[in-house]
Amino acid sequence: MTFDIVDVLKQKVSAQILADEKDYVVEKSQALAGFYPILLALLQAKPDLIQSLQNQLNPRIDDLFNGNQSLKQQMLQHLSPTIPIDQTEKTLGRAIAPSLTVLEHEAGSSNPDTIAHFLSSKLATIQAHLPTWAVPILAALGVNHAQAQPVQHHPVEPVKEEKKSGFLLPLIAFLILAGLLAFLFKACNSQKTEPVVATSNQTATESARFQLNTGATGDLVTCQIYLNQPKYMQLLQNEVKQIFNHNNGCGADGNAMYGTEFMDQDLIPSVLKQIKGVPNTNIDWQGNQLTIQSANPIDAQNLAYKIKPLLKNISVMVAPAVAAVATDANAVPASTAAEVDRAVNDSISQAGQALSNIDRNNVTALDIATALNLQIINFASASSVIPQSNKLILDQAADLVKGAPHVVLNVEGHTDSTGNAAANKTLSLQRAQAVVTYLVAQGVNPNQLKALGFGQEQPIADNATESGKFRNRRIEFEVVNTETGTVRKVDEQGVNKQP
């Protein structure tokens, strides 16, 4: 039974690439169909090219032609006779990475030699799809063995009357056999495991998203990637680790609801290099917008000035400055604001580190609660809006809890003693509920969480001092035993008491 790898790419990759296209969809589909056999012939002959493309954040057509612009233009002119060449080139470039993903799946390995061997076994099929005009282009690139055998369409010779019946019988038999083979081929494919290639037209409901924030020294505190493309996810993780000299990288959410690529994603490393060293800064890269927020408005404006020229399709926005600190009634005095700011950033860094150290195959409620209780969620005065930097920690936690249905937690809200006790209790419940709501929005089962508000009833420090009030304004996570219903409080040392 013949397995047509070119047809597989047409079905899997073209559907993904063209899902978001609005212009020249038919023409781009035809260009992709002509491009696949050229790509496969190149990869079959050059295993080193496979490895090079696998290591690229965003492979491009230029990477296939080794700087030979003349040969690239020849190919694009053939594939793009009626639409702008730059649009065709962009569409073809987007197809390279998902094509590699399909090949890795079909070959059963990401090893370049294994993939090249797999393609060698399919060379006759690839050559059958190869356009005649592509042969000299491939030869100029050193792929001399790929002698195309295109299907030639000749006028049908008239059938002489005396041979008519003898011709029809084998033709009918051939058609029946071909129909049977097509049915068997379809049945085999339907039972075959599908490659891990996102089909954004079927499942993606949100754009890919990348969030990151720095601490007081401009080093990475935490970050989160939302992306349905494992290969690029890993490449971006490696870039983050290298640029920020950070061992753990980012939290990762590969849910199918997210897109398979970032707009201008090949420029993310360049942007990260600009952000490194800028203190207390948050970025949010989603869709066609990058939002920058810094404790110092001048830092945010300077970053935007440097980053805007780098990005081609992204709008760079500057959000209002991060509030230095706030209490439930009045702002913390300026003399303590810097100390509180450092405490918040340090707590977020510690929580992120603790969550990164949790074994995904052995997630416990105690580990999750202990890590989350390390962070300080510094709500603004009279507000239940979760600060952006804390959302990154909650995202990491949600990613773990989603895969651990046995984890059940109480989320408690507490305030200091400033203001009306009844109002504080309401506010504390609103804040706890905001945390629960956010985690549920990230995919956590609502049955795993319960919000409670205690207002000023359970202080852990003296409300007579600003530092004591700051400690009392908190969110706490408690472990719930699903068998007995017992609730256990948790701090950085683990379980410390039972009510």
DSSP assignment of 157-212: PPPPGGGHHHHHHHHHHHHHHHHHHHHHHHHHHHHSPPPS---TTTS--B--EEEE
Q: Where are the beta strands (DSSP E) in 258-377?
A: 281-286, 289-294, 315-318
3-state secondary structure 204-249: CCECCEEEEEECCCCCEEEEEEECCCHHHHHHHHHHHHHHHCCCCC
What value does the mean pLDDT of the chain take?
79
Confidence of residue 229 (pLDDT cuts 50, 70, 90): confident
Residue 318 pLDDT exceeds 60? yes
Cα angle, residue 123 at apex, residues 122 and 127 outer, rounded to 5°:
125
In the prediction, which pLDDT does 266 show?
Answer: 80
In the prediction, which pLDDT does 160 show?
Answer: 42
Confidence of residue 275 (pLDDT cuts 50, 70, 90): very high
Q: Mean pLDDT lowest for which of 94-103, 232-241, 333-342, 403-412?
A: 333-342
Q: Using CA atoms, how far apart are residues 217 and 322, in angstroms rounded to an integer? A: 16
DSSP secondary structure letter of residue 322: P
In the prediction, which pLDDT does 168 show?
Answer: 55
pTM, 2 dp? 0.46
Average pLDDT over residues 281-309: 88
Strands 209-214 and 220-226: antiparallel
Q: Mean pLDDT lowest for which of 221-225, 368-372, 442-446, 477-481?
A: 221-225
Confidence of residue 486 (pLDDT cuts 50, 70, 90): low
Residue 175 pLDDT exceeds 70? no
Q: 35, 79 in Cβ contact below 8 A?
A: yes
Residue 329 pLDDT exceeds 60? no
Residue 165 pLDDT exceeds 50? no
Higher pLDDT, 155 or 219: 219
Residue 157 pLDDT exceeds 50? no
Residue 444 structure tokens:
């956590």
Q: Using CA atoms, how far apart are residues 348 and 377, in angstroms rounded to an integer? A: 9
Residue 196 pLDDT exceeds 80? no
Confidence of residue 180 (pLDDT cuts 50, 70, 90): low
Confidence of residue 169 (pLDDT cuts 50, 70, 90): low
Rg (CA), the chain: 29
For residue range 132-144, what is the model confidence (pLDDT) as tens digits? 999 988 988 888 7
Higher pLDDT, 186 or 299: 299
- Measure CA 428 to chain center: 34
Q: Using CA atoms, how far apart are residues 352 and 397, in angstroms rounded to an integer? A: 9
How many other β-carbons are positioned within 10 Å of the β-carbon of residue 382? 14
Average pLDDT over residues 115-142: 89
